[in-house]
Amino acid sequence: MTNATIDAETVLEQVVDNYPQTSRVFMKYALHCVGCPISHHHRVVDCVTENDLDLESFLAELRQAAFGQS
């Protein structure tokens, strides 16, 4: 990721490939996004919407795992 951020439009495959430490966030919620065949075009917003999660809270957890910040 060139801008070193994770936002609602970030593709899941990019999140996990660039920041493998974020996989624990997906596992915490029993999300099977890590290694999912559609993760190459599925966005963070798609994941949270389909799993009834709060977008801002989930993004904060991903950012904390990836960068040590929210």
> Is 54 among the domain residues?
yes
Query: What type of residue is 45?
Result: V
Q: Is residue 33 part of a domain?
A: yes
Q: Which residue has the higher pLDDT, 59 or 38?
A: 59
> How many helices and strands in the chain, by DSSP H and E?
4, 0
Number of C-beta neighbours around residue 11 at 10 A: 16
Of the two residues 41 and 62, the one the predictor is more confident about is 62
Model pTM score: 0.88
Handedness of CA 42, 45, 50, 54 (dihedral sign): positive
- 2 vs 27, residue with greater confidence: 27
pLDDT band at 3 (very low <50, low <70, confident <90, very high): low
Whether residue 1 lies inside any domain: the answer is: no
Per the structure, the complete domain to which residue 31 belongs is given by 18-67
Q: What is the pLDDT of residue 40?
A: 83
Model pLDDT for residues 4-45, shown as the tens digit of each residue: 799 999 999 999 999 999 999 999 999 987 777 877 889 999
**Is residue 27 assigned to a domain?**
yes
The CA distance from 6 to 19, in Å, is: 10
